[in-house]
Amino acid sequence: MSSRRAIRTVAVIAALGLGVISGCGGGTSSDAPVAASSANSVTPDAAKADLAEYTKRPTTIPLTTPVSKPIPTGKKIAYISCGTAAICSAIGQVAGEAASVLGWTVETYPTDGTADKVRNAWETVLRNAPDGIIYTATPPTMIGKYVEEAAAKGIPVAACCVVDDKGVSVPPGAGLVYNIGSNQAEVRTPVWISQILAAAGTAPADVVYVYPDYATTKHTGEVFIQQLEAACAECSGDMLPVQLTELSKTPQAVVSYLRSHPKVKYVVQGSTNATDAGLTAAIKAAGLTDIFVTGAAPGATTLDEIAAGTEAGVINFPLYEYYYGALDAIARTIVGDQVQPAFTPDAWLLTKDNVGDVPSGTVYFPQVVDIRDQFAKLWGKV
């Protein structure tokens, strides 16, 4: 559960009956259609006040229950890589940092993200019989039998960002002891709505949601557009999917869309690190002006774009919080404690005003500066 106080955008969404967001960031997504309200339910002033909260750097992890027994050292954890993207490599490094607090080690099993390579990695890992396994986003339909086999061998499996084929979070079960970060729709939607309504003021806002064609980013977009239109009677949203083999062509696709939809002035990227490269340069070169660009999960150049004012912001991807959480679940399983429910890190919106607070040269950093110390305390490793 998130530690940040409930804010107006969240409360309004709940009041509209959307059932997506609780006051503390928990809850599950609703797929039920919702009619738009007859008047804007979030005022510009309220949206601006909410943004002031979202731009504050989180200071605590939303997990307070310590592990009740001594955690043994020397455990070996297998990380099955999600592919060749930079973030997949970064996950292994972050997991290794978290494991070092416990006196454990992490071995990365590389894959290219394809089904055959991922399954081969799982087979190798199971033969090697580590003390725990972590992985990211691979759907149960691809690896479900391996997760169950790990459970049968007494190997706890924890994951991040696992969703079903509709993009909805997969709960623990069938061998999976923990799944964190799979509720992106509920985390990101109120932030984006606050940004757009604060920027638009009393004017209508026409929005296009651009996303790599994954089930989870599609689902997030559907929830976002639904809730935007419910919260703002004069707002409208559209979705622009980009095939995974065509991500390098995102700038051209967005420019083409904006030219054919001249009323659209807001671009929201469902996964900025996949679609951001060259985007604002292409928009500028096309002579398109006053285009508001935001998103989630920054790419290599996103923070520079924000600092320069060419992008309005990006919701940070809390990589450290997710994988410290995954290691926590494995540690609790190993000592026989109850695994705590997956927590939701506070959404942190990076803008021109606060982007200078993050380390230069990387987009992967702890949101909570002393996250290592906070988990060490929970783990009895101080």
Same domain, 198 and 270: yes
Residue 240 phi/psi, 5° resolution?
Answer: -125, 95
pLDDT tens figures, 15-27: 444 433 332 333 3
Q: Across residues 77-89, what is the average pLDDT?
A: 91
C-alpha atoms less than 13 angstroms from C-alpha of 225 in its C-beta half-sphere: 22
- Asked whether residue 355 is assigned to any structural domain, the reply reads no
> How far lies 335's CA from each of 18, 150, 166, in Å?
39, 17, 35
Question: How far separated are the first and last CA of the chain, in Å rounded?
Answer: 24
Return the bridge partners of 160, or none: 136, 180
Query: Which of 282, 299, 315 marks a domain boundary?
Result: 315
- SS3 category, 304: helix
Per-residue tokens: 368? 């909570």
- Asked whether residue 93 is assigned to any structural domain, the reply reads yes
> How far lies 304's CA from each of 165, 232, 309, in Å?
34, 31, 9
Same domain, 374 and 294: no
Same domain, 215 and 248: yes
- Asked whether residue 144 is assigned to any structural domain, the reply reads yes
Distance (Å, rounded) from C-alpha 283 to C-alpha 161? 31
pLDDT tens figures, 100-136: 999 999 999 999 989 999 999 999 999 999 999 999 9
Site of tokens 């995102």: 250
Same domain, 190 and 298: yes
Same domain, 190 and 177: no
Same domain, 164 and 122: yes
Give me the domain span that covers residue 240: 8-59+184-315
Same domain, 227 and 310: yes
**pLDDT of 29 higher than 80:** no
- Asked whether residue 352 is assigned to any structural domain, the reply reads no
Distance (Å, rounded) from C-alpha 149 to C-alpha 342? 23
- Asked whether residue 68 is assigned to any structural domain, the reply reads no
Q: Residue 105 class from Cβ within 10 Å (0-12 exposed, 13-18 middle, 19+ buried)?
A: middle
DSSP state of 289: -
> How far lies 269's CA from each of 19, 24, 254, 273, in Å?
23, 24, 10, 9
Return the bridge partners of 212, or none: 242
**pLDDT of 30 higher than 90:** no
pLDDT tens figures, 43-57: 899 999 999 999 999
Tally of structural domains, the chain: 2
Distance (Å, rounded) from C-alpha 248 to C-alpha 30? 32
- SS3 category, 238: strand
Note the pLDDT of residue 86.
Answer: 83
Same domain, 129 and 153: yes
- Asked whether residue 215 is assigned to any structural domain, the reply reads yes
- Asked whether residue 119 is assigned to any structural domain, the reply reads yes
pLDDT tens figures, 128-143: 999 999 999 998 999 9
Same domain, 80 and 104: yes
Greater model confidence, 11 or 177: 177
pTM summary value: 0.88
pLDDT tens figures, 267-305: 999 999 999 999 999 999 999 999 999 999 999 899 999
Which residue blocks in the chain are alpha helix, DSSP H?
A: 8-15, 44-54, 86-102, 115-128, 140-152, 184-200, 215-231, 250-260, 272-275, 279-285, 302-308, 319-335, 371-378
Nearest to 185 by CA among 311, 65, 25: 25
Same domain, 82 and 169: yes
- Asked whether residue 360 is assigned to any structural domain, the reply reads no
CATH number of domain containing 204: 3.40.50.2300
Same domain, 192 and 292: yes
Same domain, 229 and 254: yes
Question: Positive or negative CA dihedral for 187, 189, 190, 192?
Answer: positive
Distance (Å, rounded) from C-alpha 159 to C-alpha 118? 14
